[in-house]
Structure 1
Amino acid sequence: MQKCCLPAIAMLWLSTATALFAENIDRQEKPITVTATRTTQTANEALAAMTVISRKDIERQQARSIQDLLRGVPGVNIINNGGMGKATSINMRGTESDHVLVLIDGIKVGSATSGTTSFQNIPIDQIERIEIVRGPRSSLYGSEAIGGVIQIFTRKGGRGLKPNLSFGGGSYQTFNGSVGLSGGNGPGWFNLNASGMTTRGFNSCTGKPSPGGAGCFTNEQSDRDGYRNIAGSLRAGYRFENGLDIETNFLHSDGKTEFDGTFVNNSEIIQQVLGGTARYSPIDIWRISLTAGRSREDSDNFFRDALENTFKSRFNTQRDTVSLLNDIVFTQTQLLTLGFDYQNDQINSTEDFAITSRNNFGVFAQHQASLAAHDLQLSLRHDDNEQFGSRVTGGAAWGYALNERLRLTASFGSAYKAPTFNELYFPNFGNARLQPEESRSYELGANGQTDWGNWSLHVYETHIDDLIAFDASTRAPANIDQARIRGLEGVLNTQIKGWHLNANLTLLNPENNASGANNGNTLPRRAQESIRFDAHRAIGKFTLGGMLLVEGERYDDLANTRKLESYVKLDLRVEYAFNQSWRIQGRLENLFDKHYETAAFFNQPGRNFFATLRYQP
């Protein structure tokens, strides 16, 4: 598919959808969010570009993994190394995969050694909602939030005692199941959930020769590469008569994955998050929130041959965090937030790292104000890192409501990313002289609500300095790269003849500005165009739906010599409700059996089918 065709297709679809509209869309209540400002607000009040995915969305789309769910979301680019349970990374707005801050129930997660989060090992059956905020947020969260923030919330209880269960099976000898119990009565609530899945998978790697050697770091291995996961979560809360509100959360995920490799070909990964939050208002205008938690990511790596499974390496990381927020309401239209964050990272590995822990202290202030048709947000943060000293980041956002249905926004934000332990201290590779990567971003946006639906449009430009890349002259990472990223994101939601329609468009120009041979090249593994169409409609007891994903070409290497072709993928789904409690679902993925790659030599699922039986009163 030609690059020039993608924007034309998107514009044609958007204009056609608007022209065909013949009925008013139902007004839906806007979801309550907390990630964009670290304060409570509705999604339409946010001055940032954001997407909220609810539990209903997850089940309606019949998604079976986070990468499955987020593929095609505006500004989000998914890289997967060979199917379910394989290494999965996310680029947001064209930035690096370790430029995305990830939270689970308010607790910062991710590996301190690699700097990324193992999305493939977070079970989707445990998720209540996901908030995706696009654009820099270092002025509120500190390191990592250059491209944006993804916050995952585990399932939450409500009123009454309600069990739920699901069981499914399908292609690649894949089976999964979950069981849960939620409840609440008066001031207390809880949710307890457990899930498991297994798949034989498919051959994750083609193993075709590449200029630098064999693909996937190995010669072709035609065996299937399976995955299994067992997980559980607990989330509970209680509100006392004096107004004290407490909440605790726990998530544990144990996964084992197989892949193709010459030195390592299977791994066992444990992810665990334990946290708690207390909220209290000593006086009407002052609200205090204290959150503390610990996240772990343990990875044991092995090589299996015909005779035995040999242990090769261990990378265990632990992150302790404490956050204290003070929200002070001056007037009904002015809110001041004063915050303090503490973070301690520790690693325990079979590799001999010179330094195995570091601390970071951060303080920030944020002022949100509304005056007539204007909304303003100002934020400033100072971080004191044990290794890198002081870092100051700031943000400013402005919104102007032209009328009740149209609002314009503009924003600026600076951000930074501290180097990982691997980049600094990995034996015979790391560079202890590395400095944090830094960025500055500019954004203009518009969003509107009409009788036929709602829409938003955002354009932005991000400059990143001191990007860490491998320096061939020293054979170690160094702050030698620069990048300029320009992008456009468009969203349209409407309803036509009973069909609920959603269209997302992302156009991206991620340019390498480093000196040398790669100057002007496209940053690797970023699709430069992406269009996603979603549709669903209820017809009696049936619900029909589908998703069309169109992604443009990308390059797999910095030199732009290895191209990954564009592709079109169509998924269809159907649901039948026996009654209010029981329903059966089926999804046919990749209807046209399209072969595509998001990373060179790594296969993606072909045509496959999955059916699920659900019970939830």
Structure 2
Amino acid sequence: MTQPAHRGPRQRRRGAPLLAASLLSLTTASQGANTDPAAEGGLAEDVSEVDPVVVTATRTAETADATLVPVSVVTREEIERTQARSTIDVLRGLPGLSIASFGGPGRVSSLYLRGANPNQILFLVDGIKVGSATTGQTEFQNLPVDQIERIEVVRGPRSSLYGSEAAGGVVQVFTRRGGGPLRTFGSLTAGRYQTAGIAGGIRGGGEQGRFSVSGNFDQSQGFDACAGRGAPYFDGCGTDEPDADGYTNYGVSASAGYDISERMSIDANFLRAETDVDYDGAFQNEARNLQQVAGVNLRLRPLDYWDVKLAAGRSWDEQRNFNDGDFASRFDTRRDSLSLQNDVAVGANHLVTVGVDYQEDSVTSDVDYAVSARDNIGVFGEYQAWLGPVGVKASLRHDDNEQFGGHTTGDLVLGYDITPDLRVTAAYGTAFTAPTFNDLYFPGDAFFAGGNPDLEPEESRSAELGLAGRTGPMDWSLNVYETRIDDLITLVPPTFAAENIDAARIRGLEAVTVGRLLGTDIRANLTLLDPRNEADGPDDGNLLARRPEQTFRLDLDRSFDKVGVGATVFVAGRRFDDPANNVRLDGYGLLDLRASYAVSESVQIQARLENVFDEDYETVAFYNQPGRGLYVTLRYTP
């Protein structure tokens, strides 16, 4: 997976004009382009190495090597080269990121970024906030990988730009984009567990317009999701259902854009994913989910140095639960958002951003919530400067939450280019996370405690030091950080009561290297994590649940004319499934092998052998994970 290349003052000096030039390219950020904005900005400086343009780290367009913030970028090319079959495949093993999955394809999965809770990670789809207002999580495992053009993962607190839910970082998914000559694309996949998939689409455009439409259908008979014990021991799924748990996913995405003039453009995006998932459960064993997001972006350039973006969107997260075919429950949440952002370039080396965000979350359910809607207004500002070898990024935001009042967060990042190939960075940021509707109001019963209306918002402070550079053909980075969280929300077994932990402390180290050596593309990263409960009580000093202490990923790829071969090694250390650290989950290692053959310039046959050694492992206690499996894909990409 691509990591940002940190290449020192040579690129740093060009960073400021590139970002200023992005104001002249109105559609770069809205289209999620992978091209250098300088190409459209008419700069005289020669830019021979084109780096991805990222927009999530600062809400403005900048090249990945110019940003001072740790960012991982996964492109469509890399998704296809690694033959990823799901969004989990794409995200697993990225720096600082770990996943806990309740079984096989489509099962509920939790994402931990730098040890932060899943509800502390903001998910965006084409700039629109997505996720469930009841659980605070996004069903990212059901976002169709065939609809994804690019993913950006920003590590570290970003509440100062995005508000609540961005304490641990931001994951932004960009769907397929149009443009260029009319083209069709498609793929067919088959493999173990009676897995089958078909995807395809069409895209194109002219001098002013662009469009893309694509869809997918995936299904798998699956395997037994859970090996948990039955009542009264509510470990794992709390039941014994030794059957195959299937999964079906239907997805469609569409986008269209038009450049009304040189100073005005409009883009609209739509994504819909429907899933039907079987699982093992004491009270429910089937879920039908709908995730949908629609948005529109209007970009204006009133003056050459002033860019205005107006964005509006709505996301839906709807779920119907069944028990042996009988309806059991319904949870529908909706999120409406509206944003106005102004970017003003002050000379060639300064950029000022000011904006306002509005968000309203609402819940419709057959479960009675004491409060079913709330809104939030956030006002933010950001200053970016490039002063010779020094880079500065500072941001400040105030959120007025209807339930929890005002919260002010800030972030400061400094960078210094010691040499043309060596950069040092330092950062400090604060963040907050509002409790979810489930945390606050979910009704209890004879087995579970339910919500706690007395919960306080989580507040955190993070400090970070980074060193990055280039040695020979390899780009590398090293980041160490510490995050301290007050009032961390956790669910305490066996009744899973929602409680605030007075204090938690997370320390981590991330080492990343990317490059090409002896004709082989190499991407490797190591994460060391020490997430601790520091609250007074019986769990003081324990590891926070479900976060591995070590993760390592290595990707190797090489081409021989029409043949491509590659391998991925992923290793995760031990973790504990409970706050008391009584249930230990052992570490494990996975090896995936892949090969491809180019039948023609447009047609490829690909094969991927997953979990070569048939490792038996768990990321959540009692929940099974896929065994060894072979998957073959026929891909058409003109």
Q: TM-score normalised to the size of structure 2?
A: 0.90
Instruction: Kindly provide the CA deviation profile for residues 528-584 of structure 1, in whole angstroms up to 9, marking residues without a partner as x.
Output: 001111000001100000100111111111111111111110000000001111001
Stretch moving more, 449-458 or 163-172: 449-458
Aligned to 1:16: none
User: Superposed, which structure 2 residues align to 1:383-532 within 5 Å?
Assistant: 383-428=399-444, 429-470=450-491, 476-532=497-553
8 Å CA contact retained: 1:471, 1:480: no
User: Superposed, which structure 2 residues align to 1:199-218 within 5 Å?
Assistant: 199-208=220-229, 213-218=233-238
What's the offset of the Cα at 1:159? 0.5
Mapped partners of 2:294, 2:466: distance in 1: 37
8 Å CA contact retained: 2:492, 2:579: no
Q: Is residue 255 of structure 2 the alignment partner of residue 235 of structure 1?
A: yes
**Could you say what the CA RMSD is over the residues aligned between the two structures, in angstroms?**
1.6
Q: Is residue 137 of structure 2 the alignment partner of residue 137 of structure 1?
A: no
What's the offset of the Cα at 1:208? 4.1
Mapped partners of 2:150, 2:308: distance in 1: 24
Local SS of the residue matching 1:98: helix
8 Å CA contact retained: 2:226, 2:237: no
Aligned to 2:349: 333
Aligned to 1:96: 117
User: Superposed, which structure 2 residues align to 1:88-237 within 5 Å?
Assistant: 88-208=109-229, 213-237=233-257
User: Superposed, which structure 2 residues align to 1:38-117 within 5 Å?
Assistant: 38-117=59-138
The one-letter code of the counterpart of 1:303 is: N
Pick from 258, 262, 280 the counterpart of residue 300 of structure 2: 280
What's the offset of the Cα at 1:494? 2.6
The one-letter code of the counterpart of 2:253 is: S
What's the offset of the Cα at 1:496? 2.3
Instruction: Kindly provide the CA deviation profile for residues 488-510 of structure 1, in whole angstroms up to 9, marking residues without a partner as x.
Output: 00111132221111111000000
Aligned to 2:45: none
Mapped partners of 1:436, 1:233: distance in 2: 35
Local SS of the residue matching 1:423: helix
User: Superposed, which structure 2 residues align to 1:466-615 within 5 Å?
Assistant: 466-470=487-491, 476-615=497-636
Pick from 268, 272, 275 the counterpart of residue 255 of structure 1: 275
Local SS of the residue matching 1:217: coil
Aligned to 1:19: none
What's the offset of the Cα at 1:28? 5.0
What's the offset of the Cα at 1:240? 1.8
Instruction: Kindly provide the CA deviation profile for residues 440-463 of structure 1, in whole angstroms up to 9, marking residues without a partner as x.
Output: 000000111233220011000000
The one-letter code of the counterpart of 1:215 is: D
Instruction: Kindly provide the CA deviation profile for residues 334-379 of structure 1, in whole angstroms up to 9, marking residues without a partner as x.
Output: 0000010000001100001111110100001100001111000111
What's the offset of the Cα at 1:431? 2.1
Q: In structure 2, list runs of 5 or more residues that go unmatched.
A: 1-47, 445-449
The one-letter code of the counterpart of 1:324 is: L
Mapped partners of 1:65, 1:176: distance in 2: 11
The one-letter code of the counterpart of 1:294 is: R
Pick from 311, 328, 336 the counterpart of residue 291 of structure 1: 311
Q: TM-score normalised to the size of structure 1?
A: 0.93
Instruction: Kindly provide the CA deviation profile for residues 570-608 of structure 1, in whole angstroms up to 9, marking residues without a partner as x.
Output: 000000001111001000000000001100000000000
What's the offset of the Cα at 1:260? 0.3
What's the offset of the Cα at 1:68? 1.1
The one-letter code of the counterpart of 2:413 is: A
Stretch moving more, 587-596 or 476-485: 476-485
8 Å CA contact retained: 1:206, 1:215: no
Aligned to 1:6: none
Mapped partners of 1:138, 1:375: distance in 2: 21
Q: Is residue 356 of structure 2 the alignment partner of residue 350 of structure 1?
A: no
Mapped partners of 2:466, 2:494: distance in 1: 43
Aligned to 2:398: 382
8 Å CA contact retained: 1:216, 1:260: no
The one-letter code of the counterpart of 1:301 is: N
Mapped partners of 1:206, 1:253: distance in 2: 28
Mapped partners of 1:241, 1:360: distance in 2: 34
Stretch moving more, 538-547 or 475-484: 475-484
Stretch moving more, 489-498 or 582-591: 489-498
Q: In structure 1, list runs of 5 or more residues that go unmatched.
A: 1-26
Instruction: Kindly provide the CA deviation profile for residues 184-209 of structure 1, in whole angstroms up to 9, marking residues without a partner as x.
Output: 11111111001010000000111247
Local SS of the residue matching 1:544: strand
What's the offset of the Cα at 1:482? 1.9
Query: How many aligned residue pairs are there?
Result: 587
Aligned to 1:245: 265
What's the offset of the Cα at 1:291? 0.6
Local SS of the residue matching 1:263: coil
Mapped partners of 2:380, 2:513: distance in 1: 35
Could you say if the C-alpha distance between residues 475 and 448 of structure 1 is closer, same or farther in structure 2, counting changes exceeding 3 Å? closer
Mapped partners of 2:435, 2:556: distance in 1: 42
The one-letter code of the counterpart of 1:268 is: R
8 Å CA contact retained: 2:230, 2:238: no
Aligned to 1:368: 384
What's the offset of the Cα at 1:476? 4.3
